[in-house]
Chains A and B, each alone.
Chain A
Amino acid sequence: MVEKHTSEIAFSEAPVRVSEWRRFRRVFFERKLVTFGLVILLLMVIAAVFAPLLVPYDPYQPGKGESLLQPSTKHLLGTDLLGRDTLSRLIYGARTALMVGFISVFTSFFIGVPLGIIAGYFGGIINMVIMRAMDALMCFPMLLLALFLAAVLKDYFSGIWVVIIALSIAIIPGYARVTHGVTLSIKENDYIMAQRAMGSSNTRVMLGHILPNAFPPLIVLMTMQLGALILAEAGLSFLGIGIDPPGAAWGAMVYDGYRYLANHPVLWLAPGIAIALVVFAFNIVGDGLRDALDPRLRGLL
């Protein structure tokens, strides 16, 4: 009888997983700002993916006699020195920004996270070697390191890939350190010992049990770094590294525009605002994700 009773209770408790998802949604969308950020990101992704369909003009094709036009109904954001439509270039710039952001984030994730787990899990000399190497890498400011790497790599890779590789390397330490820290605390849990007592190999413990537990802070870190990376990419292309002409990148557009600071403010304002909005959106969405995924992480990253 008692058994029966408990099983009924178990039944009524069953849809807990649904409410977990509900809780996530509630916390995530609770703040209007997060929703706003998400909308911006969605718009940007759509713009980047469907760029060829959305642009009113070819972003690379110089327009004859249309140099430095002010915004009008024909060119919503005017044209640049070569007569190219700023709006079209802005949309193509979103492509560059997103591509650099996503590829770098995932590359460094796949390098930094294993390094961090290995260092944290095995400890000792392995930990020493990996983490001190990461510390050394971290000593350099991200932009400076990326600049240096870009200069070195320039002869071996073309255009945008220089930026991607340089930025990936620059942010590896961030992943390694966060993963390392989380691993150190996770590996002390009883379930890790229990897993080992069940005959799981080290690889299995690391991939199957430590990694899933380390995910929440890593997802937040990834989102936040996407913003930082887009900013860094803009910085690099502002300095003339990365995108080869006539490719469109927001940083390069700001650079092109700043020569007409007073006369044609839209030339630098448009890409500048785009950068600011996207970085802001990524940060606020990352913040929202953090609160929604794991309330304990509030204020940790």
Chain B
Amino acid sequence: MPSTLGLEACSSDKEQNMAELLKVENLKTQFHTESGVVKAVDGISYYIDEREIIGLVGESGCGKSVSQLSVMQLISTPGKIVGGEVIFEGKDLLKYKTHGPEMRSVRGAKIAMIFQEPMTSLNPVLTVNQQLTEMLELHLKMSKKAARGRAIELLGMVGIPDAQNRIDDYPHQFSGGMRQRVMIAMALSCSPKILIADEPTTALDVTTQAQLLELMKDMVERLQTSLVIVTHNLGVVARYAQRIYIMYAGRIVEAGTTKDIFGKPRHPYTIGLLKCIPRLDEEEGRKLVPIKGLPPNLINMPPTCAFLPRCSYKVGRCSKEPWPPLKNLHGQHYVSCYANTEVKDK
């Protein structure tokens, strides 16, 4: 579990002099269903710098994954990206056609993605070699032989023992953790600028989780890749991310450096999330406090703050005014809340 000391070391030395790599502005993705329009992502903005690790945290159904799939333009019907910009290397990715060659040359080569379920993320009928080299041949125009060599090298890098022989195995011959390693190798095969890890460790057991996160961190450092960790587990990002975005009901409700989020959380939702994590470095007897209630139905959302029904800090303004905009507190710390939650009961 995160210790505050580790966070400081990690966040302070990397803040300066990094060029902005990806900037998402007011991204909106909606799903037109029979019962109404689901605003899965409702105007989120974030950015990621070169070689930076950011975390995107929120509970199930808050739009984390959809926002990332939108960046890659991988939303399929009935979903639709209805607004916003995704500026990557100076160009708006949303201007590209979904299946056009420009977008395809971004996917995998410039921005790669790892999915939640390692058990099903590899094609069961193709060998690991076939799947790994496909990307290399496609994006880097490598020859079959060169691609195979590179693939073996990559498998070795992600810690697959005996990569020489294992490369011709089928996915079912690997364990879950090993498959996720293969996925990491695959995603990083073309040295992308950004790696999006969509709940990369959710399906794995705790020890494997830790190994894989370490591995991912090492790999992105080695390849100078930026990493977006999408997760519902604050513990996962605490140790690795430099900045964290907290999402709720399709919006970012709080953003800040990891130190800000863990040290001085300001949104009631973030506070709630932190209260329900058990910690080793605390006095005995603290009760874990769950967040009461359920996340809102994203169809026909009220204009007011979506967290209002579950909020224990609400003030008079909350039920009268629309969803509060993100307000800068200091430095990189933003929060979208009317209530003054600067309380010490953290």
Contact = CB atoms under 8 A, between A and B. Distances in A.
Interface of A: 3-4, 6-7, 10-11, 13-14, 16-17, 123-124, 189-191, 193-202, 204, 208-209, 212-213, 215
A194 B135 CA distance: 11
A11 B166 CA distance: 9
A200 B162 contact: no
Contact of B165 (A6, A14, A199, A202): A14
Contacts of A6: 161
Contacts of A212: 123, 125-126
A199 B138 contact: yes
A196 B74 contact: yes
B134 A197 contact: no
A204 B137 CA distance: 13
A6 B174 CA distance: 12
Contacts of A7: 161-162
A198 B138 CA distance: 10
A193 B139 contact: no
Given A10-B162, A189-B120, A199-B105, 13 more contacts: A3-B159, A10-B161, A14-B165, A16-B169, A190-B115, A191-B124, A194-B183, A198-B108, A198-B113, A198-B138, A209-B126, A213-B125, A215-B125
Given A209-B123, A209-B126, A199 B106 contact: yes
A124 B74 contact: no
Nearest to B123: A191
Nearest to B172: A16
Given A13-B173, A124-B77, A190-B120, A198 B107 contact: yes
A7 B164 CA distance: 11
Nearest to B109: A199
B212 interface: no
A3 B161 contact: yes
16 contacts: A10-B166, A16-B169, A190-B121, A191-B123, A196-B107, A197-B112, A197-B115, A198-B108, A198-B113, A198-B138, A198-B187, A199-B135, A199-B139, A200-B134, A212-B125, A213-B124
Nearest to A124: B77
Chain B: number of interface residues, binned into ranges: 35 or more
A3 B163 CA distance: 12
Contacts of A14: 165, 169
The main secondary structure of chain A at its interface with chain B is helix
Nearest to B100: A201
A214 B74 CA distance: 23
Shortest 5 CB-CB distances between A and B: which pairs? Answer: A199-B108, A198-B108, A199-B107, A7-B161, A197-B113
Nearest to A208: B134
Interface in B110-142: 112-113, 115-117, 120-126, 134-135, 138-139
A202 B159 CA distance: 32
B105 A195 contact: no
B117 A198 contact: no
Contacts of B116: 190
B279 interface: no
A197 B74 contact: yes
A124 B169 CA distance: 37
B120 A191 contact: yes
A190 B74 CA distance: 12
Contact of B121 (A10, A123, A191, A202): A191
B186 interface: yes
A11 B162 contact: yes
B104 interface: yes
Contacts of B123: 191, 195, 209, 212-213
B330 interface: no
Contacts of A191: 120-124
Nearest to B104: A199
Contact of B104 (A16, A193, A201, A213): A201
B264 to A, nearest CB: 36
Interface in B168-183: 169-170, 173, 183
